[in-house]
Amino acid sequence: YRMISFILLLCRFFTIAICVTDQYVLDDKVGLGRVFDGIGGLSGGGATSRLLVNYAEPYRSQILDYLFKPNFGASLHILKVEIGGDAQTTDGTEPSHMHYENDENFFRGYEWWLMKEAKKRNPNITLIGLPWAFPGWVGHGKNWPYDYPDITATYVVSWIIGAKQYHDLDINYVGIWNERNFDSKYIKLLRYTLDKSGLESVRIIASDNLWEPISLFMLLDQELRRAVDVIGAHYPGTTTVLEALKTQKKLWSSEDYSTFNNEVGGGCWARILNQNYVNGLMTATISWNLVASYYGELPFGRDGLMTAQEPWSGSYVVESPIWISAHTTQFTQPGWTYLQTVGHLAHGGSYVALTNGKGDLTVVIETMVCSALFAIDPLIVVSTYVLLGDLRAKLDGYKDTQRPTFFEKLSPLKLSDGSFTLNLGEDEVYTLTSLTSGLKGSFPDPPPSAPFPTTYKDDFNVANPPFTEAPDFADQTGVFEYHINLTDPGPHVFTLRQVVTQRPVTWATDADQTISVIGNYKWENLTVSCDVFMETVKTGGVFIAARVDKGGQSVRNAKGLFYWIFSDGSYKVTNDLASFSEAPSLLLLQGQYATGLLNGYPLWKNAVVLGPKNGWAAIGTKSFELAQFDNFAVKAE
Ligand SMILES: *[C@@H]1O[C@H](CO)[C@@H](O)[C@H](O)[C@H]1NC(C)=O
Ligand SMILES: *[C@@H]1O[C@H](CO)[C@@H](O)[C@H](O)[C@H]1NC(C)=O
Ligand SMILES: *[C@@H]1O[C@H](CO)[C@@H](O)[C@H](O)[C@H]1NC(C)=O
């Protein structure tokens, strides 16, 4: 434990010297630095807000307030969303606005809704769209979106036009292809297509990957350099490269964080927010992800600014990164300017200072040390004081019995002869500000955490569903949508339909089958039932499943108990999602018996199931084919 003494000598406005052991001068006389563009969150990449939409009110609005409401919580300046491409993009798939070439629908998924909710709270919020994947027709069946760059550009621009036309949303920035190759010709064509569509004000970010090679390409190609407004790098580790600086473009960390959201994660976020500018002159930082609203057992569980993964209980957790964000977001706005006098503290940590040019100054100081940032060792005790301007809270480490509190207001600092002393310990964040607007927003405690209900039914009979997805189904390959068939004379007018008919231009390794999971990952013994309709004659097939143990990027390797029926009249029981085409290797041992019924009659009995021991329930299809599901029910013991 170390104390650093600071004396801030406010000789004249904006001239601050911090002395005693270390002295730091904050001064605008030497000129200003770069213009700040904001702090944001990323919904998507993929399906990271899936469960959020299924929260009942008032909890859903409370979560949105913690994220977006100015002067309340994280008060984010930027919302970046995935432009759904019908493919698996880390924790699920997000639907495209054009499943097929002749199809257009701007009411699929939840990103439109999320953008509108964000905008409602903060009309100034910056909106960004970025594709991870594309529907198969965009690549003409190839896993590559640039062979027909005009088609890809038109497809992406149609999403931006639809955002305005159907939701009155102005998209401010658009990207290329998340963490995949870019193509200079495509980027220029995208610029041209935007301009031609009257969207000159929409700016291009490239290439949402490494600083290079995009920076180098831009230095060698004037037209490309003109087309790209922002160089966006992912997980830059707070540094940039000379080539990126030479382009004289804005530098953003357009995806960052991706850390478990406990106190260590919060500390990590504090360090990133300051040092992305101090070390790398990045003027915006965007967290993957915005809110951890996906089943926690999917990849990267809880890597969001807060946690909201239990719509069935209403329980959510405002995690430390929300308040760490607030230290910057509540006391600066896009358009403020960094002072040039930013830097490292001699004994670890960093400081930044920003001004609005109208006499206001905000200084953010963090003293995060490596042990707090990178330690996975649960025995390390983090001792943190969180201060904000004149706001202060004490955190005695996550091993302590005392509940940590964040972001509490301190009494105003007394300046003596334009200076003051600040004692800093390790793992602290301070905001010193001339603004008086800071607020730690709060709501009454949400309901307690509870497991997914053991009895669950959905007949999908919703005439005007608020979202195209049925509650709590998390698509892992393919897209499952509410479907209405008014010509159906029977009880299946309303169904859930798998609608992706061609393998998309993928980002991750989607399965060759489609699958949507639901329920409690801990489920062992359960009864799953569902009515099914195979629209593909002869070669079609569908399944229901239990104990499905993998999703997200690992969905191809999902194991479980899969009960298939095929439109040629045959059936199968398999242990792997991908093994339906092989002879059913009889699933062995472990004293676990499974039975399958068809139309009420046992079709197979007492199949002995080798693991997995537990997992979600699921539905799906044999290939990318149309199929419908109705009266889905689960009963877990
Ligand atoms: C939006 O920006 C304008 C202009 O900078 C500002 O006056 C206004 O207060 C901002 N609104 C909100 C809700 O932050
Ligand atoms: C609609 O229902 C009819 C009658 O059951 C069926 O033949 C047809 O395939 C269904 N079409 C769709 C698109 O669901
Ligand atoms: C599932 O069933 C097996 C066999 O009857 C039993 O041993 C096990 O405890 C059950 N699991 C749960 C979670 O009920």
Last residue of a domain, one of 245, 276, 307: 307
Rounded CA gap, 157 and 23, in Å?
51
> How far, in Å, is the centroid of ligand 3 from the Cα of 88?
33
pLDDT of residue 17: 38
pLDDT confidence band for 420 (50 / 70 / 90): low
Q: What is the mean pLDDT of residues 359-368?
A: 88
Rounded CA gap, 602 and 588, in Å?
20
Specify the residue for token string 């580790």: 237
> How far, in Å, is the centroid of ligand 1 from the Cα of 83?
27
Q: Which of 72, 124, 330, 331 to mutate to test the pocket of ligand 1 (most atoms within 8 A of CB)?
A: 124
Q: Give, in degrees to the nearest 5, the angle at Cα 226 between 225 and 231.
A: 55
Which ligand places an atom closest to the C-alpha of 329?
1
585 contacts: CB under 8 Å, gap ≥ 6: 575, 579
Rounded CA gap, 389 and 395, in Å?
17
- Please determine, for residue 508, whether its predicted confidence score (pLDDT) is greater than 70: yes
Residues making up the chain, counted from first to last: 637
In a domain, 206, yes or no: yes
Catalytic residue set: 179, 255
**Which residues have CB under 6 Å of ligand 2?**
485, 487-488
In a domain, 442, yes or no: no
> How far, in Å, is the centroid of ligand 3 from the Cα of 523?
10
Q: How many helices (H) and strands (E) does the chain have?
A: 10, 36
Higher-confidence residue of 537 and 345: namely: 537
Please state, rounded to an integer, the average pLDDT across all residues of the chain.
Answer: 88
Asked whether 147 lines ligand 3 (CB < 6 A), one says: no
Give, using CA atoms, the residue closest to atom 5 of ligand 1: 124
Q: Which of 103, 482, 484, 488 to mutate to test the pocket of ligand 2 (most atoms within 8 A of CB)?
A: 488
Higher-confidence residue of 257 and 602: namely: 257
Q: Which atom of ligand 3 is nearest to the CA of 523?
A: 13
Instruction: Out of 29-33, 220-224, 583-587, give the one with best mean pLDDT.
Output: 220-224
Q: What is the pLDDT of residues 43-77, one digit of tens each?
A: 999 999 999 999 999 999 999 999 999 999 999 99
Residues above pLDDT 90, as percent of the chain: 73
pLDDT confidence band for 436 (50 / 70 / 90): confident
Asked whether 451 lines ligand 3 (CB < 6 A), one says: no
- Please determine, for residue 389, whether its predicted confidence score (pLDDT) is greater than 90: no
pLDDT confidence band for 6 (50 / 70 / 90): very low
What pTM, to 2 d.p., does this model score?
0.92
The answer to whether the beta carbons of residues 338 and 36 sit under 8 Å apart is yes
What residue numbers bound the domain in which 279 lies? 36-307
Q: Lowest-pLDDT range, 4-13, 229-238, 494-503?
A: 4-13
In a domain, 479, yes or no: yes
CATH of residue 132's domain is: 3.20.20.80
**Dihedral, 539, 544, 545, 551 alpha carbons, nearest 10:** 70
Rounded CA gap, 426 and 4, in Å?
9
Which ligand places an atom closest to the C-alpha of 121?
1
Last residue of a domain, one of 259, 286, 307: 307
* CA contacts within 13 A on the Cβ side of 402: 12
The answer to whether the beta carbons of residues 544 and 633 sit under 8 Å apart is no
**Which residues have CB under 6 Å of ligand 1?**
70, 122-124
Give, using CA atoms, the residue closest to atom 14 of ligand 2: 485
> How far, in Å, is the centroid of ligand 1 from the Cα of 333?
9
In a domain, 418, yes or no: no
In a domain, 321, yes or no: no
pLDDT confidence band for 410 (50 / 70 / 90): confident
> How far, in Å, is the centroid of ligand 1 from the Cα of 575?
56
- Please determine, for residue 2, whether its predicted confidence score (pLDDT) is greater than 90: no
CATH of residue 613's domain is: 2.60.120.560
Higher-confidence residue of 21 and 120: namely: 120
How far from 636 is each of 227, 521, 563, CA to CA, in Å? 55, 11, 17
Q: Which of 454, 522, 524 to mutate to test the pocket of ligand 3 (most atoms within 8 A of CB)?
A: 524
- Please determine, for residue 629, whether its predicted confidence score (pLDDT) is greater than 80: yes
- Please determine, for residue 101, whether its predicted confidence score (pLDDT) is greater than 60: yes
Please measure the distance between the N-terminal and C-terminal CA atoms of the chain and give it in whole angstroms.
51
Give, using CA atoms, the residue closest to atom 2 of ligand 3: 525
Which ligand places an atom closest to the C-alpha of 520?
3
Last residue of a domain, one of 307, 328, 349: 307
pLDDT confidence band for 364 (50 / 70 / 90): very high
The conformation of residue 73, written as its DSSP 8-state character, comes to S
- Please determine, for residue 535, whether its predicted confidence score (pLDDT) is greater than 90: yes
If residue 40 lies in a helix (H) or strand (E), which one and from where to where?
strand 38-43
The answer to whether the beta carbons of residues 475 and 47 sit under 8 Å apart is yes
Rounded CA gap, 417 and 603, in Å?
87
In a domain, 99, yes or no: yes
pLDDT of residue 405: 65
> How far, in Å, is the centroid of ligand 1 from the Cα of 124?
6
- Please determine, for residue 423, whether its predicted confidence score (pLDDT) is greater than 80: no
pLDDT of residue 402: 38
38 contacts: CB under 8 Å, gap ≥ 6: 76, 77, 78, 126, 284, 329, 333, 334
The answer to whether the beta carbons of residues 163 and 169 sit under 8 Å apart is yes
Rounded CA gap, 128 and 21, in Å?
44
- Please determine, for residue 79, whether its predicted confidence score (pLDDT) is greater than 80: yes
Number of domains in the chain: 2
In a domain, 30, yes or no: no
Q: What is the mean pLDDT of residues 493-507?
A: 98
Asked whether the bond before 299 is cis by omega within 30 degrees of 0, the reply is: no
Q: Which atom of ligand 1 is nearest to the CA of 124?
A: 1
Q: Which phi and psi (to 5°) does residue 374 adopt? A: -110, -5
> How far, in Å, is the centroid of ligand 3 from the Cα of 525?
6
Asked whether the bond before 485 is cis by omega within 30 degrees of 0, the reply is: no
- Please determine, for residue 403, whether its predicted confidence score (pLDDT) is greater than 70: no
In a domain, 535, yes or no: yes
